[in-house]
Amino acid sequence: MIKDSVYGGMKPINSRLNTLKKSSFLSRVDAILRRLLDIIAASLGLIILSPTFLWIAFAIKRDSPGPVFYRGQRVGRGGKEFGILKFRTMYDDEKSHNGSKVTAQDDPRITPLGKKLRDNKANELPQLWNVLVGEMSLVGPRPEDPEFVKKWPEEEKKILLSVRPGITSPATIVYRYEESLLTSTNLMQEYLKNILPSKLRLDTLYVQDRNIVNDLDVIFWTAIALLPTMRELAVPEHQLYWGPVSRLTVRYISWLFIDSFISMVAISISGIIWRLSGPLDVGVSYSILIAICISWTFSIVNWIFGLNKVEWSRAPAAEAFTLGIFTSLVTLAVIYLNLINPWFPPLPVSMVVMSGILSFMGFVLIRYRERLITGIASRWLRFRGGVRGVGERVLVVGAGQNSALASWLFGYTDFGRAISVVGMVDDDPRKQGMRIDGHPLLGTTSDIPRLVAERDIGLIFFTIDNINFQQRERILSICQSTPARIVLLPDILEILKKEMKIVPKPDSDFYLSEHNGKMDLFLNELQVLLEKNQVEAARERLAAFRQSIQG
């Protein structure tokens, strides 16, 4: 169970209100589809469950005197209050009306039948009427009592009240046995301290990235949680927001439709090209069938070999080779089926091969589209010369292993969208004039002031690690003489070596050379510090070196 220790200390999610989806065509379509789902499901639910409602109403009347339904004040979208509808589960007396708004396990106010209804969540079924009239939705943050809403942090309040509350939500699934967690005599304080912060966090995360597919996931997990044999199932938090429906839609169904469309386009183009050189009379239906065979077979192969799990926006180029192998295998299978089928005239083998090649090109294009577009845009900007790139202009100092890590940060993370790498500098003469990690090497470290002035550099990324102390100080002083800001990239490779515990034998030549090299570097650093009369810094460096030797 997920809990925060103190309600008032719940950390804000970074500008959560600012990350809510802006009004757009897709968000409006999603809202319309969600409302249609609410109306259809609520209408069918009320009709199908009407006999159950009558039976429960009769049972409530027999169980204890009082009304069948309970209507409590809750806060809905935009802060508007409404009356939530439930089957009554408490005795209709003064103690129930004036008691705590939070119920605990074995609460004496709950009737025997009411306990059964609460255990099965059947007391919540009348809320389908709230959904039908537009006060609630099937999925959304659970509506709270106005007294609790007043205690919400302002940021969470704005987010959660921006949508309709729901019958179920991620927090509802996690805390479906909320009453069993509350056994203290001070129910209100325990609820506000231990449960409410976590419920707010879970529902805030849901609202930030909600769509109808996520709603179907929540409905799926709610149905699973209500099954008698699955009630003790602990649903992992990440699956509340990315469950089986989302995975099936994104990883399988969406790619199936996309690949089908690409295959149909490829076959259409191949057919047009083939018709230019001779007659082709196979019919549209057969062409569509071939396209479906290619896309479905390709999707099945993707599923078998896990290609549907590849994050293509960050996939290496080698994955395209894998795509090519599988597309070739699928094309060979289609050729075989095309030749042996007894229902349609066979397509020319060369046309099927052409379709396979065009399909492969389309598969690669759609999967690598972001990187292809970015690469084309970057080369166009370089071709135009003096045109400024988008974002902070960066100069990378050093073209070694650490610069490769910097290039990865620039190319494969959100950080890279805020900068534009102008080029690199390095003192290795063999690298001059080369293009390294996609960036031109513009000169040596002595050229840094000139490049900063000419290229309007705002940020210098210092990545060199395999140099001695004096060289490092010299290059850093050059960088500091410019108006650009400096970022020192940590020696991640050295950290990895230490973490992997790769320690050579003390009597090996490598160990001795490495040990002597570190000793020379330490003595040089110590000499520079003493020359600058930085005695205290020299003592600290000596203590650190002694500790590293002992470690």
Interval 540-549: pLDDT, tens: 766 676 666 5
Average of per-residue pLDDT values in the chain: 77
With cut-offs at 50, 70 and 90, classify the pLDDT of residue 14: very low
| Residue 463 predicted with pLDDT over 80 | yes
Q: Is the pLDDT of residue 99 over 80?
A: no
Reported as a pLDDT band with limits 50, 70 and 90, residue 337 is confident
512 against 325, higher pLDDT: 325
Please state, in angstroms and rounded to a whole number, the distance separating the CA atoms of residues 266 and 269.
5
Contact present, 407 and 462 (Cβ < 8 Å): no
pLDDT reading at 383 higher than 70: no
For position 498, what pLDDT does the model report? 60
Closest CA to 443 of 378, 397, 394: 397
| 268: phi then psi, degrees, rounded to nearest 5 | -65, -45
With tokens 């577009």, the residue in question is 373
Averaged pLDDT for residues 469-486: 89
Q: In this predicted structure, what is the pLDDT of residue 6?
A: 33
> What CA–CA distance (Å, rounded) separates 309 from 302?
9
Phi, psi of 57 (to 5 degrees): -60, -45
Q: Please provide the DSSP assignment of 76-95 as one string.
A: -GGG-EEEEEEE--B-SSHH
Average pLDDT over every residue of 266-284: 73
- Per-residue pLDDT, 529: 66
Least confident of 16-25, 137-146, 457-466, 474-483: 16-25
**pLDDT > 90? residue 47:** yes
Q: What is the CA radius of gyration of the chain?
A: 33
pLDDT mean over 304-330: 79
For residue 433, the 8-state DSSP code is T
Average pLDDT over residues 237-252: 76
220 burial class (0-12, 13-18, 19+ CB within 10 angstroms)? middle
* Average pLDDT of the segment spanning 483-510: 61
What was the pLDDT predicted at 472? 85
**191 vs 91, more confident:** 91
Contacts with 45 (C-beta within 8 Å, 6 or more apart), sequence order? 125, 128
pLDDT at 118: 85
Name the strand (E) or helix (H) holding 168.
strand 166-168
Looking at residue 473, what is its pLDDT?
A: 86
Q: Dihedral through CA 23, CA 27, CA 29, CA 30, nearest 10?
A: -150
Does position 80 have pLDDT exceeding 90, yes or no? yes
Q: What DSSP string describes 292-311?
A: HHHHHHHHHHHHHHTGGG--
> pTM of the predicted model, to two decimals?
0.60
pLDDT of residue 69: 92
Q: Which of 157, 141, 137, 138 is nearest to 149 (CA)?
A: 157
Helices (H) and strands (E) in the chain, counts: 25, 10
Under 8 Å CB-to-CB from 486, ≥6 apart: which residues?
A: 459, 460, 462, 476, 479, 480
Dihedral of alpha carbons 348, 351, 357, 362, sign: negative
Angle separating helix axes 25-48 and 212-226, nearest 10 degrees: 30
Residue 510 predicted with pLDDT over 60: no
Confidence of residue 388 (pLDDT cuts 50, 70, 90): very low
Q: Helix axis angle, 401-412 relative to 492-499, nearest 10°?
A: 110
What does the pLDDT average to over 461-490? 85
How far, in Å, CA of 76 to CA of 165, rounded? 6
Q: Give, as one character, the DSSP assignment of residue 232.
A: T
Q: Is the pLDDT of residue 72 over 70?
A: yes
pLDDT band at 125 (very low <50, low <70, confident <90, very high): very high
pLDDT of amino acid 39? 95
- pLDDT the model gives residue 16: 42
Yes or no: say if 356 and 323 are a contact pair by the CB < 8 Å rule.
Answer: no
Give which of 139, 158, 138 is closest to 149, Cα–Cα.
158
Q: Which of 127-131, 357-361, 369-373, 444-448 has the lowest mean pLDDT?
A: 369-373
**443 has which bridge partners?**
425
Q: What is the mean pLDDT of residues 84-88?
A: 93
What integer pLDDT is reported at residue 450 of this predicted model?
Answer: 93
Is the distance from CB of 421 to CB of 394 less than 8 angstroms?
yes
Q: Looking at the DSSP assignment, which residues form a beta bridge with residue 485?
A: 459
What residue ranges do the domains of the chain occupy?
7-242, 247-367, 392-495, 503-550
What is the sign of the dihedral through the CA atoms of 177, 178, 184 and 185? Answer: negative
Range 392-495 has CATH code 3.40.50.720 = yes
Q: Which residues pair with 487 in a beta bridge?
A: 461
Please write the tens of the pLDDT for every residue from 183-210. Answer: 656 666 667 777 778 888 888 888 888 8
pLDDT value at position 237? Answer: 67
To the nearest whole percent, how much of the chain has pLDDT over 70?
A: 72
Higher pLDDT, 518 or 28: 28
Inform me whether the pLDDT recorded for 130 exceeds 80: yes
DSSP, res 235: -
Residue 396: strand pairing partners: 424, 461
Instruction: Reply yes or no on whether the pLDDT at 514 is more than 50.
Output: no
